[in-house]
Amino acid sequence: MEIFVVTLIALVIITAVYFMMCENRFVSLEELVKNAWSNIDVVQENRYDTLIELYKIVVSYAEHERNTLNEIVRNRGLKSNEETINNLVANVYAVAEAYPELKADTIYNNLVEKLTELNAQTKFAKLVYNDAITKFNRLVKMFPSSFVASMFKHEEKEYLTVDAQKKQMPNFDSIRDGKW
């Protein structure tokens, strides 16, 4: 009888320790997901600020583009809005095509290079975010951690997905004509 009680107590302790460790893993992964999302925001903000600087240079070459700059300023609150940023990037490149002397400007070229780098960082940050989501979702689904997930109400998280329009080949004619 004594062995049974000791075994039962040991089993309860082992189970409790497992549940605590599993919950700590969930907390750790949730923080990883939050951090990855925050990194996307930081890169997006940097990308937006670089785009503003780039556009200031473009505007100095093309005064009639002032209306587009006003649109950027008006949309400042939407700095994390990927579609707005991508539209503005396309507009900057379109203006640069119209003014060949702009391409010779060192500051412009440096900002374009930085913007290209920030675009790559944004893509990488999204990959890191989705990787963190994968790790979290695996823990939610896998046995026996799924029991802990349901006890502490941990649910699967959503992946960042690609806009359906971006899965298709872009229509360069509409971009050139300013109808993106």
Residue, of 44 and 63, whose pLDDT is higher: 44
As a whole number of Å, the CA-based R_g of the chain is 25
Provide the domain count of the chain.
Answer: 1
Mind listing the pLDDT tens digit for each residue in 95-110?
666 666 655 667 777 8
Phi, psi of 170 (to 5 degrees): -70, 150
Q: Count CB neighbours of 48 within 10 A.
A: 20
Residue 16's identity, in one-letter code, is: A
Domain that holds residue 171: 2-176
High-pLDDT (> 70) share of the chain, %: 63
The 10 Å Cβ neighbour count of residue 22 is 20
Binned at pLDDT 50, 70 and 90, residue 56 comes out as: confident
CA pair distance 79, 82, nearest whole angstrom: 8
CB count in 10 Å sphere of residue 121: 17
Q: pTM of the predicted model, to two decimals? A: 0.61
Length of the chain: 180
Residue-wise pLDDT tens digits, 60-94 = 665 545 555 556 556 655 445 666 666 766 776 67
Residue 21 main-chain phi, psi, to 5 deg: -65, -40
CA 51 to chain CA centroid, Å, is: 17
Residue whose C-alpha is closest to residue 88's, from 137, 58, 135, 55: 55
Q: 176 pLDDT band (50/70/90 cuts)?
A: very low
Q: Using one digit for the tens of pLDDT, what is the confidence trace for 108-161?
A: 778 788 888 888 888 899 999 999 999 999 999 999 888 888 888 989 999 888
Q: Which tens digits make up the pLDDT trace of 23-39?
A: 999 999 999 999 999 88
User: pLDDT at position 63, please?
Assistant: 53
Q: What percentage of the chain exceeds 90 in pLDDT?
A: 31
Q: What is the pLDDT of residue 67?
A: 57
Backbone angles phi, psi at 147, to 5 degrees: -65, -45
Instruction: Give the Cα separation of 105 and 141 in Å (integer).
Output: 54
